[in-house]
Amino acid sequence: MLAVDGVISDMGAIMRGVHDRGGLPDDTPINREEHEMMDWELRVDAMHAVLGNKGLRSTDQMRRVIESIPKDQYEQMTYYERWAFALETLVTENELLSAEEIDQKMSDIVGN
Amino acid sequence: MERFKVGDTVKVRIDSPSGHYRTPIYIQGMTGVIESVCGRFKNPEKLAYGHDGYPLETLYTVEFIQRDLWPDYTGNIADKLLIDIYEHWLNTINEG
């Protein structure tokens, strides 16, 4: 039996994860053009690497957080916005930083 | 000890547990054949929550006929898709 999104099977309702795109109909060709990474994207990438090297986040943890982003937000976010969201979630889960500390730092930066 | 051996026919579990899992919906419920036993690995569903990933789970490469997966597949009838699936996502045919 083919598993179809939302169809109730004998094993329960099947819920397609927002990231689980295999087999979805789409006539839009994949954009294969390279593009320059923006400065903030490079910083997110660097934070991702540092936290990984220090054992403070793993790929599976990143995936779990990104795959839990509500569909409407997920579709609006760019690749590195999802990474930034996941890193913030994980460092607050780990209690490395609090949401208040991150918000305070963000407003300091914006204020300058 | 792994539950399946090369050549066994298996059916992929249909499920969408909360959290992270590595069995895409297009393969769920489909019947395939064990192509190889990859070994035992930490469970990504547990690693996803910062746990140690134990007990280890056996990972298999399972082969499926492309035309079984995609109703409008126009490639060669012998074309196969190989995908790595963890043991707890696989059932025997009799288990449904």
pLDDT of amino acid A4: 52
Mean pLDDT over residues B40-62, rounded? 97
Residue in A with minimal Cα distance to B23? A20
pLDDT of amino acid A12: 54
Domain coordinates in residue numbering, chain A: 37-111
CATH of the domain at B50: 2.30.30.50
pLDDT per residue as tens digits for the range B52-86: 999 999 999 999 999 999 988 999 999 999 999 99
d(CA A80, CA A78): 6
For chain A, strand residue ranges (E) read 8-9, 12-13
Mean pLDDT over residues A71-100, rounded? 96
Q: Which of B15, B28, B48 sits opposite A61 (nearest CB)?
A: B48
B66 touches B57 (CB < 8 A): no
**How high is the mean pLDDT of chain B?**
95
| A37-111 CATH, one of 3.30.420.10, 1.10.472.20, 3.30.420.40, 3.20.20.70 | 1.10.472.20
Residue in A with minimal Cα distance to B66? A23
Judged against a pLDDT cut of 90, whether residue B8 lies above it is answered with yes
